[in-house]
């Protein structure tokens, strides 16, 4: 009961603190003209502050400083360094613009922090799952490559109001439940910190008068944290005797649904661009949310809610399957 109370307190503090901070960020961004200028790909027609993701970083930073004794020191330093690198790179891109290859290099360096810290856990996960048929080195490379795709996928679905935030909300809600039930309270608490700040962000992002975008600083950070949480789950599922929620194979199915929508959308768009002889990083309006907007006439909110509902339905189907059918 005490741990559950802590979860509620942490969630409320994150929600309240983020809600208090956001108007200050919006006001600062407008004074300094730190605004997103609409172009042919944009789904908005007004200039909007694009540093809303700062609230995610601040919420995490406050929590980590307050709960630093709950985390293993080496892991906290490595993972915090990776998170800060992607946040800082994304923020600079929001303010000044960063070349795609520079952003990619930052992602690779940040993800190497995860790969290094969770190397043994990922190796044991392979051995305990049907991935055992894949050579260890190749599996490590595949996981790293998948994480690289995932970070970019979350970054790229942040093209309309609410979508990346709703997808992230689904993900971290599942993480909160799983980590709480397995008594990994530090990660359950961190999940609630993120949920609180994301809900606060959505309130402003979906409004008209106080609209703000999370920007690359927010989407890159959320994508990186999804990789961290996934690696922690992979390690727990095979290396922690107290973790009995899912087998490694069951966890693989859940991962497939958690990441299905953003990753498949990225791969589909990349395939279209390559087929048309264009660079993978070239701009267009071929993402799934653009189809709903441009061809089906949906609004931003309708599109975001529908895609988030589809995403959540797939997750719940996977959880039901591993709980009752496997």
Q: 30-42 pLDDT, tens per residue? A: 888 888 776 555 5
pLDDT number for residue 41 = 55
Q: How far is the C-alpha of 5 from the C-alpha of 40, rounded, in Å? A: 48
Flag whether pLDDT at 166 surpasses 70: yes
Q: Where are the alpha helices (DSSP H) in the chain?
A: 2-31, 54-66, 73-95, 100-117, 119-127, 136-157, 163-181, 185-205, 215-239, 248-275, 288-294, 300-320
The pLDDT of residue 12 is above 60:
yes
pTM score, whole prediction = 0.94
Residue 176: is its pLDDT beyond 80?
Answer: yes
Name the 3-class secondary structure at 287: coil
Predicted confidence (pLDDT) per residue in 194-214, tens digit: 999 999 999 999 988 889 999
Q: Mean of the pLDDT values across residues 76-81?
A: 90
The predicted pLDDT at position 184 comes to 86
Q: Per-residue pLDDT tens for 207-236?
A: 888 899 999 999 999 999 999 999 999 998
pLDDT in tens, 258-279: 999 999 998 898 888 888 888 7
Contact in structure between 168 and 59 (CB atoms under 8 Å): no
Would you say residue 1 has pLDDT above 70? no
187-196, 239-248, 317-326: lowest mean pLDDT where? 239-248
295 pLDDT higher than 90 = no
- pLDDT averaged over every residue in the chain: 90
- Of the pLDDT bands very low, low, confident and very high (cuts 50, 70, 90), residue 312 is very high
* Domain carrying residue 84: 2-325
pLDDT at 43: 56
Percent of the chain with pLDDT over 70: 96
Integer Rg of the chain from CA: 19
Residues 112-158: tens digit of each pLDDT:
999 999 999 999 999 989 999 999 999 999 999 999 999 999 998 99
Contact of 237 with 123, CB cutoff 8 Å: no
45 pLDDT above the threshold of 70:
no
Give the Cα separation of 81 and 62 in Å (integer): 15
- Residue 58 pLDDT exceeds 60: yes
Q: Is the pLDDT of residue 82 over 80?
A: yes
Please give the tally of structural domains in the chain.
1
pLDDT in tens, 89-107: 999 999 888 998 999 999 9
| pLDDT, position 154 | 96
């Amino acid at each position: 009961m005490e741990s559950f109370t802590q979860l509620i307190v942490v969630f409320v503090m994150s929600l309240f603190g983020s809600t208090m901070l956001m108007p200050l960020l919006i006001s600062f961004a407008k004074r300094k003209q730190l605004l997103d200028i609409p172009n042919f790909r944009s789904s908005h027609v007004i200039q909007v502050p694009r540093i809303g993701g700062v609230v995610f970083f601040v919420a995490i930073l406050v929590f980590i400083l307050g709960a630093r004794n709950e985390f293993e020191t080496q892991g906290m330093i490595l993972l915090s360094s990776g998170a800060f690198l992607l946040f800082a790179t994304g923020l600079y891109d929001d303010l000044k613009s960063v070349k795609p290859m520079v952003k990619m290099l930052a992602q690779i360096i940040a993800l190497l922090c995860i790969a290094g810290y969770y190397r043994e856990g990922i190796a044991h996960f392979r051995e305990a799952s049907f991935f055992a048929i894949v050579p260890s080195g190749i599996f490590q490379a595949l996981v790293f490559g998948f994480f690289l795709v995932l970070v970019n996928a979350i970054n790229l679905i942040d093209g309309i109001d609410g979508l990346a935030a709703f997808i992230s909300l689904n993900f971290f809600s599942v993480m909160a439940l799983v980590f709480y039930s397995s008594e990994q309270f530090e990660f359950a608490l961190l999940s609630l910190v993120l949920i609180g700040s994301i809900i606060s962000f959505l309130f402003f992002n979906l409004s008209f008068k106080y609209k703000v975008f999370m920007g690359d600083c927010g989407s890159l950070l959320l994508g990186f944290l999804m990789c961290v949480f996934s690696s922690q789950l992979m390690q727990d599922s095979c290396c922690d005797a107290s973790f009995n929620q899912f087998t490694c194979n069951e966890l693989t199915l859940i991962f497939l649904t958690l990441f299905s929508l953003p990753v498949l959308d990225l791969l589909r768009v990349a395939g279209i661009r390559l087929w048309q002889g264009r660079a993978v990083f070239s701009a267009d309006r071929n993402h799934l949310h653009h189809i709903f907007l441009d061809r089906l006439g949906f609004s931003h909110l309708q599109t975001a809610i529908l895609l988030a509902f589809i995403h959540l339905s797939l997750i719940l189907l996977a959880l039901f399957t591993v709980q009752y059918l496997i």
